[in-house]
Structure 1
Amino acid sequence: MTALRLIAAGHTPALRRAVFGGDDPLDDAGRTATRALKDSPALLPRLFPDDRPWLIAPTRAARQTAHLLDAPATTEDPALAEPGFGAWTGRPLDQIDPAALQRFLTDPTAAPHGGESLTTASGRLTGWLQRQTTTRGTAIAHPLVIRLIVAAALGLPPGTPRLAVAPLTVIRLTHHRGWTLHL
């Protein structure tokens, strides 16, 4: 059976300040929490053999999360990158035009920042997920990316506001005639 373990990368300074994009490393609390997760039952090797490379987003936070979790080997996968935020990259919410921000948050097809819409990012991640239907392994990415993957697996729209993924959330998906979410 196909099984994927999805791990949201740990906290970064940008994530705590609600900054769009960037490539921050884990902060002190993020490193501490990641070390604590390492011995969690969510990471049991019997469910996810450690002889396969872990797929990680091309970010410092994903690399550091994998390192602190003792990933056996990692392969960066550009498909797991955060959405491109264009002109908003590196800017906190309070520096964004409120009308443009509202449009982005309520319309998944909107990209007022000149970057990637949630619909476009979701399409990229849906393609990635479809390529995993015969895979057993682990992937680490930004919490928003994990949220978009889970939404795609469950057939939910990309802007689903009632689906939240916190840093270091561990999610298990299996595939047999469709994806199943295990909590």
Structure 2
Amino acid sequence: MYINGEALIGDGNEVAHIDLLIGDKEGPIGQAFANALANPVEKHTPLFAVVAPNMVCKPITMLLPKVSIQNLDDTTKIFGPAQRAVAMAVSDCVEDGTIMKEMVEDICILCGVFIHPEAEDPDKIYEYNYEATKLAIKRAFADEPSIEEILAKKDSLKHPFFYR
């Protein structure tokens, strides 16, 4: 069994979109976690969320870039502000009780991270990815949105990249 969360925060090229799965290390999410690390896809290198080098966050979290890493500039965005943002959001969710401390050694998080190739501001990349990750985790543990909310709002909401 696993839970999932999603959040979009920010605007412009620095917009952050997070999709995540949280589950037991011994279950399908744990297997997917190990497979992602053992079988990286070219230009979509998975990486651990770290507060700083030699300091992974817990629960262990893996960033999965949703956009191809094309060059050193792209690499610096994901292996810098985005990586720290996700790690800090996970750590803060443990600190505030959203994720119980008792479960940090038993679960893992797969975190899809969108970084626009034309994003330029590392502070905004950090801020938006931090907020999006924290919101996605909170939504995952709260089972949000509910099916009632989805059905109530589905015909009135607009998608930011599809205008029909």
TM-score by length of 2: 0.32
Bigger share in strand:
2
